[in-house]
Amino acid sequence: MELALSLGDTPKPFSLLEKSQKILGKDLGFCMGMAVGKSDAENNSRCKETTGLFSADDDQRRSDSSSDLPVQLDLLPFSPVHRSHPSSHKFPFPWLTEKLGGDGVEGNMRRGGDEGHDQEGASLSSPNSAVSSFQMDFCHVLRSGKRDFEQITSAGHEAADRGTCSRGSDEEENGMLARKKLRLSKEQSAFLEESFKEHNTLNPKQKLALAKQLNLRPRQVEVWFQNRRARTKLKQTEVDCEYLKKCCETLTEENRRLQKELQELRALKASQPFYMQLPATTLTMCPSCERVATTTTTTTTTSSAAINNPSKLFSLSPPHQPASN
């Protein structure tokens, strides 16, 4: 048996962002000051983010669907986004042309630009990491002072919303502070959740738009979706596991019952071979309740077959319940 995870059906365009004003109550805008103190590369990427210099070509190429499972956790009302060919430039979100400021978007599109988070990521969390390990160690060192830092970055996510606190290397580059864990606000979480219901994957434009709407960095939106998919998958796996456990129990019970039945029939055959010469109608006795079944079979070959496979004599439905004591 194969475990499969079904995350939904067909892609839908975001209708959500159109509702965003209602949900969030206001336009959060987009902080332009986040690049202060960043590396050049990051500044550049941010510049691209804010000016619409990104690629729209890497959209939904992933598909995690398939579900033959009888039990499916309904975590996703909608479906997985099937990632199309990156060069297909499909973009089903007309609202974005407005949101992202129309004119320059298509014109400035460049391959591989994404929203710049990769460059950002490269600059912020370099894998070759003297910096990274330093980041972690520095984190520990600074933990003692973290309360103060929390006060400094009060309102939790606000600082991170401005793109300066959730990544340690930002501060390291400034030789300042360790990373502060971001906590998304309820509104942000709810909004992301709604978005996830619409699409469990994001193309770069969707990511950018969401980030802009929520005043988060695209990388944060991306990470949130990754983690959200992981949680969905985990939950579905738990459900699948439960289902398989039940299946296993049922089959074990059925097997036990059939084994018992077979044993009884074999014992019957051994002790009273005489019966084997009689028409099968006299042999079709339920071993549980000893009730005689009414079959019209009259050949001994059938009877022998029945001994070898009792399920031919008695249906697979549970045996008659013996009269209670």
List contacts with DNA (CB under 7 A): 55, 57-58, 60-62, 64, 83, 85-87, 111-114, 117-119, 121, 124-127, 129, 132, 135-136, 139-140, 143, 146, 150, 156, 160, 166-169, 178-184, 189, 201-204, 219-220, 222-231, 233
**Nearest distance from C-beta of residue 143 to DNA, angstroms:** 5
Taking the C-alpha atoms of residue 201 and residue 224, their distance in angstroms, rounded to an integer, is 11
The answer to whether 263 and 281 have CB atoms below 8 angstroms apart is no
Residue 208, helix vs strand vs coil: helix
**Nearest distance from C-beta of residue 21 to DNA, angstroms:** 22
Using the 8-state DSSP alphabet, how is residue 292 labeled? B
Using the minimum distance from each CB to DNA, give the nearer residue, 136 or 251. Answer: 136
**Nearest distance from C-beta of residue 123 to DNA, angstroms:** 11
**Nearest distance from C-beta of residue 121 to DNA, angstroms:** 7
Paired strand residues for 69: none
**Nearest distance from C-beta of residue 93 to DNA, angstroms:** 14
Taking the C-alpha atoms of residue 218 and residue 223, their distance in angstroms, rounded to an integer, is 9
| Token pair belonging to 218 | 């695209």
Helices (H), 30-156: 40-51, 94-99, 103-108, 117-124, 130-143, 146-152
Q: How large is the greatest C-alpha to C-alpha distance in the chain, in angstroms?
A: 98
Using the minimum distance from each CB to DNA, give the nearer residue, 233 or 269. Answer: 233
**Nearest distance from C-beta of residue 156 to DNA, angstroms:** 6
Half-sphere exposure of 130 (CA within 13 A, CB side): 1
**Nearest distance from C-beta of residue 314 to DNA, angstroms:** 44
**Nearest distance from C-beta of residue 269 to DNA, angstroms:** 52
Using the minimum distance from each CB to DNA, give the nearer residue, 168 or 310. Answer: 168
Half-sphere exposure of 79 (CA within 13 A, CB side): 12
The answer to whether 13 and 176 have CB atoms below 8 angstroms apart is no
Using the minimum distance from each CB to DNA, give the nearer residue, 58 or 198. Answer: 58
Using the minimum distance from each CB to DNA, give the nearer residue, 111 or 266. Answer: 111
- For tokens 């995870």, the residue is 5
Using the minimum distance from each CB to DNA, give the nearer residue, 227 or 263. Answer: 227
Taking the C-alpha atoms of residue 255 and residue 249, their distance in angstroms, rounded to an integer, is 10
Using the minimum distance from each CB to DNA, give the nearer residue, 198 or 222. Answer: 222
Using the minimum distance from each CB to DNA, give the nearer residue, 19 or 85. Answer: 85
Taking the C-alpha atoms of residue 43 and residue 170, their distance in angstroms, rounded to an integer, is 12
DSSP 7-47: --SS-----HHHHHHHHHSS-----SGGGTT--HHHHHHHH
